[in-house]
Each structure stands twice: as C-alpha cells, then as structure tokens.
C-alpha cells in the first residue's frame, strides 16, 4: 500500500469514527428532558471541526488553523454557557490568538492553502527538547500543587490521579500549541501526553458513573485523537527531516 493511499484510508477512518460517535451522542442527548438542542448541535459541529483541525495538522496543511478558529470559537461559547470561566478565558485569550499566529508562522514556512503545499517542519534538537520538557514537568508540578490546594480549601478529598492528569493535560496543551504554531515536529510528543492522560481520565469517569454519555464520547474522541497523534508524529518526522545538500534549508 502506498503512503498516499494509507493516509487517505487512515484519515477516513478517524473522521468517520468521530462523526458516528458525535451523531450517536447528540441523538441520545436530544431525547433528554430540557436538552438545549441549539447548543447540542453547536457542540456536535465543534467536535467535527476539531477532528478536521487535528487531521489537517497531522498532514502539515495550513488549513488546520481555519478549522482551529471555528473549533476554539465554538468551545468558547460552550464554556461561557456552562459557566466554566477558567477554560473560557484559556480558549479565548490563548488558543484563539494562537490559531492566527500559527497561520502566520506556517505561511512563513512555505505552507500555502492555494498551492496545497505542506509546511516545512523543523525539530527542536534534543537539548532544546530536554529544557522544554524539564520546564513542562516543573509547570505541571506547580499546577498540581495549586489544584490540590483548591480541593483542600473546598474541603474535598483529594483525587491525586485526577489532579495529576488534569495538570499534565493543561501543561501539555499549552506547550503543544506553541510548538504547533511554530511548526516544530516535537509538538506531537506533547499531544500524545494530552491524549493518553485524557483517555485515562475519561475511562475512569466511565467506570465510576453509570450512563455517562459524555464520558463514552470523550473516551472515543481522545482514543481517535491518540491514533492521529501517532500518525502525526510519523508524518512530521518526514516533514522535518534535514534538507538534502542539494536543497539546503537555512531556516532549519
């Protein structure tokens, strides 16, 4: 099987699996009393935009950021309606601007929506990756402490696994988005962390809460995202391969 054919089949599998999951979950929620049908449809659309964003990103297409803007904007609306103001602020003030920064940076690295050309990806190098990883671990430790203190202040019994996964996900999202916007291959290591931790979290929720429809959908979603992240790492290893002597890349 050729590389191009494999990617087409893989992308169709990821998109089709996510679409079916979203449709089933939305249909189930429509039957619940007091369901906000408008927001359900909006959330479903956001999920579809999210998987398109992930697939285009894995394939090095700048169109990823168009879907990213729509996905983040929809998430902002949902977070505002849910009263989750911390996540609302994170998406509005960080993730949304980073979509435009990413578009600008990828354009500088030869990605073109008109020509269909892929971004000229690059690598951090093991030293830079080591320093960023150490900073990430330190940031996660600080965030873990903050979240733990919040639970203790509320008089809650600390769930150390949940707090740890939560801190790891937030930190990896922030680092991964920066590296994505700057077209570094190493972003995929952090997206893999996000997806693995998310799968663990949602599997735990599913095991402890009967009939948790959102947990089922989220577990399926992040499982598909994890597969896409491994494929993205594979593709970006090639996109970021050192240029041949005949085609030097002075920016790499």
Averaged pLDDT for residues 197-213 = 73
**pLDDT surpasses 50 at 251:** no
Read off the pLDDT of each residue in 184-211 and give the average, rounded to a whole number: 85
Closest CA to 225 of 6, 1, 8, 17: 17
As a whole number, the mean pLDDT across the chain is 86
> What is residue 252's predicted lDDT score, i.e. its pLDDT?
39
The pair of three-digit structure tokens given for residue 125, joined into one six-digit string: 């190098």
Q: Provide mean pLDDT across the span 231-247.
A: 80
**pLDDT for the residue 34:** 65
Measured CA to CA, the distance from residue 246 to residue 242 in angstroms comes to 11
Whose CA is closest to 190, among 182, 243, 162? 182
Determine the pLDDT at residue 144: 92
Task: Identify which has the larger pLDDT, 30 or 236.
Answer: 236
Quote the pLDDT of residue 250.
Answer: 39
Looking at residues 65-87, what average pLDDT do you find?
Answer: 84
> Which of 16-20, 25-29, 133-137 is least confident?
25-29
Q: Judge whether residue 110 has pLDDT over 70.
A: yes
- Residues 79, 85: contact at Cβ < 8 Å? yes
Task: Round to whole Å and give the CA distance between 167 and 147.
Answer: 8
pLDDT of residue 142: 94
Q: Which residue has the tokens 């992040």?
A: 222
The model's pTM is: 0.86
Nearest to 185 by CA among 126, 137, 240, 146: 240
Look up residue 33 and give its DSSP letter. T
What's the burial of 96, exposed, middle or buried (CB within 10 Å: 0-12/13-18/19+)? middle
In this predicted structure, the answer to whether residue 210 has a pLDDT above a threshold of 60 is no
Cα 137 to Cα 150: distance, rounded to the nearest angstrom: 20
The radius of gyration computed from the CA coordinates of the chain, to the nearest angstrom, equals: 19
Report residue 194 as tokens.
């996000």
pLDDT at 35 over 80: no
Q: Which residues contact 231 (CB under 8 A, 6 or more apart)?
A: 7, 10, 58
pLDDT digits (tens, 9 = 90+) for 50-62: 899 999 999 999 9
Residue 24, pLDDT above cutoff 70: yes
Give the pLDDT mean for 27-44: 75
CA-to-CA dists, residue 186 to 155, 225, 230, 244, angstroms: 39, 16, 12, 21
Enumerate residues 6+ apart whose C-beta is below 8 A from 220.
17, 18, 21
pLDDT in tens, 136-179: 999 999 999 998 898 888 888 888 888 888 889 889 999 999 99
Q: Are 88 and 80 in contact (CB under 8 A)?
A: yes
């Amino acid at each position: 099987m050729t590389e191009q054919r494999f990617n087409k089949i893989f992308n169709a599998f990821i998109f089709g699996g996510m679409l079916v999951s979203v449709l089933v979950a939305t249909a189930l929620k429509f039957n619940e009393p007091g369901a906000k049908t408008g927001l359900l449809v909006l959330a479903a659309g956001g999920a579809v935009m999210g998987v398109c964003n992930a697939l285009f990103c894995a394939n090095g297409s700048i169109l990823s950021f168009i879907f990213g803007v729509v996905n983040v904007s929809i998430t902002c609306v949902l977070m505002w309606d849910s009263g989750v103001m911390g996540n609302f602020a994170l998406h509005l003030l960080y993730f949304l601007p980073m979509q435009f920064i990413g578009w600008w940076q990828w354009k500088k690295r030869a990605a073109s929506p008109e020509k269909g050309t892929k971004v000229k990806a690059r690598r951090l190098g093991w030293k830079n990756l080591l320093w960023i990883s150490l900073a990430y671990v330190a940031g996660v430790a600080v965030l873990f402490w903050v979240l733990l203190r919040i639970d203790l202040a509320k008089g809650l019994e600390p769930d150390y696994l949940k707090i740890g996964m939560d801190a790891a996900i937030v930190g990896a999202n922030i680092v991964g988005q920066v590296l994505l916007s700057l077209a570094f291959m190493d972003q995929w290591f952090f997206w893999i962390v996000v997806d693995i931790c998310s799968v663990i979290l949602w599997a735990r929720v599913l095991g402890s809460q009967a009939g948790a429809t959102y947990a089922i959908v989220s577990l399926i979603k992040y499982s598909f995202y994890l597969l896409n992240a491994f494929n993205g790492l594979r593709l970006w290893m090639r996109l970021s391969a050192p240029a041949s002597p005949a085609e030097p890349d002075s920016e790499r």
